[in-house]
Amino acid sequence: MPRRPAKVTQADIARAIRAAKAAGAGEVTVDGEGVIRIALVAGAAPIKPTNDGNEIWTPSEALQRYLKSTESG
C-alpha cells in the first residue's frame, strides 16, 4: 500500500510560524486534518522594520562564493 501525501509539510508549518511571529501572533496550531490556525493577540503590534528602507543589501562573502561557483559560462 503506497503512502499517502502529507496534508501539511514541515515547510508549510515553518512558513506559518514565521508569518505568525511577524504578525505578533500568540499561538499556531495544526489539527489532524492539516489545517493551520494562527491565533492573533488583540493588543499585539506587528514587528516594525529596523531600517528606513534606504539600506542597500549586499550578499555575504559565502553567498558571493556560492554564486560565483554556480555561474555557467
Q: What is the pLDDT of residues 21-48, one digit of tens each?
A: 888 888 888 888 888 888 887 665 666 6
What pLDDT band is residue 52 in, cutting at 50, 70 and 90? low
pLDDT at residue 73 in the model? 46
On the question of pLDDT at 50 being above 50, the answer is yes
Q: Domain limits of the chain?
A: 1-47
What pLDDT band is residue 6 in, cutting at 50, 70 and 90? confident
Where does residue 41 fall: left (phi above 0), alpha (psi -120 to 50 degrees), or beta otherwise? beta
In the block, cell 514587528 appears at: 47
On the question of pLDDT at 60 being above 80, the answer is yes
